[in-house]
Structure 1
Amino acid sequence: MEKKSIKLPTRDEVPQELTWDLKSIFKSNEEFEKEFKLVTAQLDEVKKYSGSLAKGAKTFLAALKAVLKLERRAEKVFVYANLKNDQDTSNKYYQGLLSRTRQLGAKVGASVSWFEPELLALPAKKLAQYFMQDTELEAYQHLISKITSQREHFLSIKEEELLAGAADLFATPENIFGILNNSDLEFPEVRDAQHNLIKLSHGNYGKLLESSQRDVREMAFKGMYRTYQQFQNTFALALSSHVHTHNYLAQKRSYPDARSAALARNNIPVSVYETLVQRVNHHLTLLHRYVALRKKLLKISEVHMYDLYTPITKLPARTYGYQESQAIILKALRGLGADYIAKVKEAFENRWIDVVENKGKRSGAYSSGMYDTAPFILLNWQDNLESLYTLVHEMGHSMHTYASNTNQEYQNSDYSIFVAEIASTTNENLLTQYLLDQTTDPYFKAYILNHYLDGFKGTVFRQTQFAEFEQWLHVQDAQQQPLTAKEMNDFYLSLNERYYGADIFNDPEIAYEWERIPHFYYDFYVYQYATGFAAASALAQKILTKGPEDYLNFLRAGSSAFPIEIVKKAGVDMTKAAYLDDAFALFAKRLDELEQIIADLS
């Protein structure tokens, strides 16, 4: 019998109830164009305030308001254009709309670029007088404090202008990486599970590593890194140049080192980073146990790096429809209280979510919105457990955004990237606990436990491994030690061996993994995935045992204080090791449970 080909629907074929309602942002494209023109007209108005911050409190306040008003209106324009483009990236009109909006964003950035250097040029005593003279400035206290807290690290206005003008030059290593990694690499053809010859790509590599057929995994793994090996010297030059630039800028701004400079943006103590690395290394025996369990269940004599992503428990046969998944999520999150659940229902009912895949739609999933819009969610629903987890994850982001926006003024609403993954991962933790509590099926329970352990492995252990490598790169460069491909390969290979333990076969190809990680160009970004996951684990347990109020206050806080302070008020002190040790204790508990279920089923 001939198989029917399944075609993706075009955008206009998707049922309206499964699409987001962007008319709540702008009722029409004409209304968008009107706002676009108003933002453009406001550019010159903001520039007029340049050079005026020293003229008195009222002028200072007027300038600050003008800058924020422009940024707020421009942000709304961008959100609309970006969402419209992502719902169908083949639509030429919305491609143009987004391109124009990005150009407008660059103009907005240029028109307000004078503000921070001019603010920092104000003597602290004079700024204090402004607050005494005009109490309306108190609403902007934290925003101004975030800027002035780095006063000693800013240069003269002229020097800052020179550095700003060189921003494109400083971004060259990352741009080289992007072009090489996304455009120029030519990957080989490999066989998939059905023995079809397919072109290996970034997109299908992960799926191939999940294959139950070991030869498929091995071929994909070796094919991927054989390609990277050919370009190791170019990647090494790009990454070492980026690290050197980062060290150079930190030095010129009088920071102790590049890591301190990166963490200072959110007022994060370096001890948070160091404690993470120390506690992860202390608990590496748990990762070694998990690798050993993989070895046992996969019935292999040695675990290769390409064996770390294939499922070791049976995939549940059941499907998860979108409507059913909504009901599960409402039950899983009920511990967060009636108001939270009511807002999740509003997201479901008022079309905040673009649900199904259509031709031309952006892949993946995200939550996106701003102060004057709903926090919209993009999905590509597949009726499986992974889609359920994706929805609850993105709902965490959206509820964080909603709570922040409705409880803070605009200038204090945009929460820090340091806490961004906490709310989403807390929701995942609550869903995991709910699914474990609701099932008596040992096979399903084993799958959920393994899903959690794999997430922990990939987020806490793996991202901390990346963080260690990133710090080593900066230290080597600061000490004027060579950073060629050989040094990077050798250190990464030894680091990988230490993390995964005696049961791993440390495939020589894994030495090149650093080449394909874009986050190494984000300046000490990756550690936040690990700290956020561990903090979410602690917060989820607190919600289940003590109630949600402290956590809800965390969601409402936005950026009204520095992120470490906000999380501490919720009950997690990220300057100490306890929250990490608690997360590892939960990992150990669930690893014990999985091992026991497997023993009982044997």
Structure 2
Amino acid sequence: MEQVKLKKRSEMDSKYKWSIEDLFANDELWKEEYIRTKEEIEKVKAYQGKLCQSGKLLYDFLKLQDDLSYHLQRVYVYANQKYHEDTGNSIYQGFSEQAGNLIVAYESAVSFANAEILSMPEEVLFNFVKNTAGLSEYEFALNEILRNKPYTLSGEMEELLALAGDMASSPKTIFSMFNNADIKFPSIRDENGELREITHGSFILFLESPDRRVRKEAFQSLYATYMKNKNTLAAVYSANVKKEAFYAKARKFPSTMAMKLYNSNIPVEVYKNLIETVHEKMSLMHRYVALRKKLMELEELHVYDLYTPIVKDVDIKYSFEEAKELVIKGLAPLGEKYREVLLEGFRDRWIDVYENQGKRSGAYSWGAYGTHPYVLLNYNNSLDNVFTLAHEMGHAMHSYYSNKTQPIIYADYKIFVAEVASTCNEALLMEYMLSRTDDKKQKAYLINHFLEQFRTTLYRQTMFAEFEMLTHEKTQRGEALTAETLSAQYRELVRQYYGEELALDEEISFEWSRIPHFYTPFYVYQYATGYSAAIALSRKILKEGESAVEDYIGKFLSGGNSDYPIELLKKAGVDMGSKEPVRQALDLFEELLDEMEGLMA
């Protein structure tokens, strides 16, 4: 039987490709802007040693930074999105590397600035702010520089660290090339006997299959590929952890975690509170695993049984057109203006929809200031992908409102709040879909999907966060990170989080080796905190209506980086400095679990 193969990029219908030409109509225009930007970076040198001389010089330098940031974003985003269209394309591999080098050159060129600003007495700095036209716009940003004073090095040392940036990115680059361009998974026969290639995009589809043989073969085949490379992947991961530990030590932070959280002014306690609160409610996940095992009528529940729907005889598939219509209706509580922008995104091809050969796995939203945001999908008609569309458009809308409202210096919101808008969209969509059906099986199917969101976003991402915390602590203590120690640590966490009802397949011990987010340390916890905040916000929007929407869009989505993340969320009505939002989310998980048990009794 002939194997079903992915299309090449050139074979994809243009209406399902993002409008990358809105950034640059062609590669030649990109090259011209790359060259111009590279030349403009040289202008930065004229300000070195002069920022303390006058408010006007400081203002002119900051405006030059903004201008360079605008062009760098355009150059970098275009290069990397073209690369992500087909990671095997050597031309765009080169573009991506050039753009990355340009970022390093820029960071090196401006690395003197913070040290110079910090060298002047604060009263002089704020006298500049008070008496220089236009400089007040930068007051929050200048206060941020002052907040970082204890961890800012001399101008010479900052330049040295900036110059090391390209080298320091090597572990992440190596993993990305391995995971997206070089790795090849086997093919297996699907439920219909057709030979299909396992890809990053198709893997979850295989795990959702009602045919247990398909699930097991896909699971074992994918992980066998990673396990063959376990020592290399452990070395790459360890190199990334050591790199971050070096930067933390160089800047005199007590730990890598403290360094990474300090950027957004997030107390370390927020991270640890998340893990502690989830541990308090670990029994709920064990209960859910036991329910899944019972409803699936299995003697042993394996990891490859966790993703397939537990409600039988309900096969819900949605075309991309149907998914868009559902998302529009589900997000109606956010108002007509929000809907109009959403429709603009669908109409004007903000989205790259389907998987093709070499395309980057997963999904994301990204863009450059002054241009609409972009969304990368690998859409496959599943219910999960409908929610992925809502999720990524949440990111896109957050970027749209931030860019529209804030100057470039404050437009790029912090990672801590990045997952809130996306997950709030998912929660609103789920409420809509649940309200539109009285069918017992379909309702149970949707509740199961909601429960899975809690499992994969709140529990699983917290487990990832705990794994990161523990492995970075090991490195800080001087302990080696090997394939064996990493796998043993990961296996123990899976056992703790899922409980005794889950049979621990050997393969799951190596899941750490395939998680791209581990190369952006202490990122994933924000999926869990963001999910908790989003549940609280979605409830507030549905309960309070227009006033809550005004706070959400006007104060949060439009806030960008004009205030600290915790403060922006407070303005929208959620206090992430406490354990309460996580507890509330877990209470909802318990309510859904109760309802699911009742429906399936």
Instruction: Return the TM-score normalized by structure 1.
Output: 0.88
> Is the contact made by 1:71 and 1:108 (CA closer than 8 Å) also made in structure 2?
no
CA 1:202–1:472: 2 relative to 1, 3 Å? same
SS class of match (2:365): strand
| C-alpha separation in 1, matches of 2:178 and 2:11 | 36
2:567 maps to a residue whose letter is: E
Instruction: Please state how far the C-alpha of 1:326 moved relative to its aligned partner.
Output: 3.4
Pairing 1:327-476 to 2, within 5 Å after superposition: 327-355=325-353, 364-476=362-474
| C-alpha separation in 2, matches of 1:500 and 1:319 | 29
Instruction: Please state how far the C-alpha of 1:493 moved relative to its aligned partner.
Output: 2.2
1:461 maps to a residue whose letter is: Y
CA 1:522–1:47: 2 relative to 1, 3 Å? same
Instruction: Please state how far the C-alpha of 1:257 moved relative to its aligned partner.
Output: 1.9
| C-alpha separation in 2, matches of 1:493 and 1:289 | 19
| C-alpha separation in 2, matches of 1:166 and 1:28 | 32
1:504 match? 502
1:580 maps to a residue whose letter is: V
CA 1:177–1:52: 2 relative to 1, 3 Å? same
Report whether the alignment pairs 1:556 with 2:558. yes
Could you give the per-residue CA deviations for residues 452-477 of structure 1, whole angstroms, max 9, x where no partner exists?
11121111111111111221223233
The answer to which of 22-31 and 434-443 deviates more is 22-31
| C-alpha separation in 2, matches of 1:528 and 1:222 | 30
> Is the contact made by 1:154 and 1:253 (CA closer than 8 Å) also made in structure 2?
yes
| C-alpha separation in 2, matches of 1:180 and 1:32 | 27
Could you give the per-residue CA deviations for residues 342-398 of structure 1, whole angstroms, max 9, x where no partner exists?
222332344434455677766654323222111233445545534432322222112
SS class of match (2:419): helix
SS class of match (1:367): strand
1:573 match? 575
Q: CA RMSD in A?
A: 3.3
The answer to which of 442-451 and 19-28 deviates more is 19-28
| C-alpha separation in 2, matches of 1:78 and 1:238 | 25
> Is the contact made by 1:393 and 1:428 (CA closer than 8 Å) also made in structure 2?
yes
2:59 match? 61
SS class of match (1:310): coil
Pairing 1:22-61 to 2, within 5 Å after superposition: 22=20, 24-26=22-24, 35-61=33-59
Report whether the alignment pairs 1:299 with 2:297. yes
| C-alpha separation in 2, matches of 1:439 and 1:69 | 51
CA 1:299–1:364: 2 relative to 1, 3 Å? same
Instruction: Please state how far the C-alpha of 1:149 moved relative to its aligned partner.
Output: 1.2
1:157 match? 155
1:145 match? 143
Counterpart among 526, 529, 533 of residue 527 in structure 2: 529
| C-alpha separation in 1, matches of 2:532 and 2:127 | 42
Pairing 1:199-238 to 2, within 5 Å after superposition: 202=200, 204-238=202-236
SS class of match (2:370): coil
Could you give the per-residue CA deviations for residues 101-136 of structure 1, whole angstroms, max 9, x where no partner exists?
455444434433333343334443432332233252
Instruction: Please state how far the C-alpha of 1:41 moved relative to its aligned partner.
Output: 3.4
> Is the contact made by 1:266 and 1:563 (CA closer than 8 Å) also made in structure 2?
yes
| C-alpha separation in 2, matches of 1:5 and 1:253 | 52
Instruction: Please state how far the C-alpha of 1:507 moved relative to its aligned partner.
Output: 2.8
2:286 maps to a residue whose letter is: H
SS class of match (2:130): helix
| C-alpha separation in 2, matches of 1:245 and 1:6 | 39
Once the two structures are aligned, what percentage of the paired residues are identical? 41
> Is the contact made by 1:422 and 1:536 (CA closer than 8 Å) also made in structure 2?
yes
SS class of match (2:600): helix
Instruction: Please state how far the C-alpha of 1:313 moved relative to its aligned partner.
Output: 1.9
| C-alpha separation in 2, matches of 1:498 and 1:51 | 55
CA 1:194–1:74: 2 relative to 1, 3 Å? same
CA 1:227–1:358: 2 relative to 1, 3 Å? closer
| C-alpha separation in 2, matches of 1:256 and 1:538 | 33
1:564 maps to a residue whose letter is: I
| C-alpha separation in 1, matches of 2:242 and 2:9 | 47
Pairing 1:478-497 to 2, within 5 Å after superposition: 478-497=476-495
> Is the contact made by 2:373 and 2:400 (CA closer than 8 Å) also made in structure 1?
yes
Instruction: Please state how far the C-alpha of 1:403 moved relative to its aligned partner.
Output: 0.9
SS class of match (2:134): helix
Instruction: Please state how far the C-alpha of 1:188 moved relative to its aligned partner.
Output: 6.0
Pairing 1:162-201 to 2, within 5 Å after superposition: 162-174=160-172, 177-178=175-176, 192-194=190-192
1:14 match? 13
Counterpart among 247, 250, 261 of residue 259 in structure 2: 261
Instruction: Please state how far the C-alpha of 1:70 moved relative to its aligned partner.
Output: 1.2
SS class of match (1:55): coil
CA 1:435–1:248: 2 relative to 1, 3 Å? same
Instruction: Please state how far the C-alpha of 1:280 moved relative to its aligned partner.
Output: 0.4
Instruction: Please state how far the C-alpha of 1:213 moved relative to its aligned partner.
Output: 2.8
The answer to which of 394-403 and 222-231 deviates more is 222-231
CA 1:36–1:506: 2 relative to 1, 3 Å? closer
2:475 match? 477
CA 1:443–1:23: 2 relative to 1, 3 Å? same
| C-alpha separation in 1, matches of 2:89 and 2:488 | 47
2:268 match? 270
| C-alpha separation in 2, matches of 1:415 and 1:155 | 25
SS class of match (2:47): coil
> Is the contact made by 2:200 and 2:361 (CA closer than 8 Å) also made in structure 1?
no
Instruction: Please state how far the C-alpha of 1:412 moved relative to its aligned partner.
Output: 0.8
Instruction: Please state how far the C-alpha of 1:324 moved relative to its aligned partner.
Output: 3.9
Instruction: Please state how far the C-alpha of 1:272 moved relative to its aligned partner.
Output: 0.6
SS class of match (2:375): strand
Could you give the per-residue CA deviations for residues 548-587 of structure 1, whole angstroms, max 9, x where no partner exists?
1221121010000011111111111111011011111111
1:133 match? 131
Aligned residues: 597
1:280 match? 278
1:557 maps to a residue whose letter is: G
The answer to which of 367-376 and 98-107 deviates more is 98-107
Instruction: Please state how far the C-alpha of 1:227 moved relative to its aligned partner.
Output: 4.8
SS class of match (1:377): strand
1:14 maps to a residue whose letter is: D
CA 1:482–1:317: 2 relative to 1, 3 Å? closer
2:459 maps to a residue whose letter is: F
| C-alpha separation in 1, matches of 2:236 and 2:125 | 42
> Is the contact made by 2:365 and 2:392 (CA closer than 8 Å) also made in structure 1?
yes
CA 1:104–1:484: 2 relative to 1, 3 Å? closer
| C-alpha separation in 2, matches of 1:198 and 1:247 | 42
2:514 maps to a residue whose letter is: R
The answer to which of 351-360 and 393-402 deviates more is 351-360
| C-alpha separation in 1, matches of 2:28 and 2:130 | 45
The answer to which of 525-534 and 229-238 deviates more is 229-238
2:600 match? 598
Gaps of 5+ in 1: none
| C-alpha separation in 1, matches of 2:7 and 2:519 | 35
Instruction: Please state how far the C-alpha of 1:184 moved relative to its aligned partner.
Output: 7.0
Instruction: Please state how far the C-alpha of 1:156 moved relative to its aligned partner.
Output: 1.9
The answer to which of 553-562 and 51-60 deviates more is 51-60
> Is the contact made by 1:315 and 1:447 (CA closer than 8 Å) also made in structure 2?
no
SS class of match (1:585): helix
> Is the contact made by 1:87 and 1:362 (CA closer than 8 Å) also made in structure 2?
yes
CA 1:468–1:103: 2 relative to 1, 3 Å? closer
SS class of match (1:374): coil
| C-alpha separation in 2, matches of 1:595 and 1:71 | 53
Could you give the per-residue CA deviations for residues 374-428 of structure 1, whole angstroms, max 9, x where no partner exists?
1233445545534432322222112111111111111111111111111111111
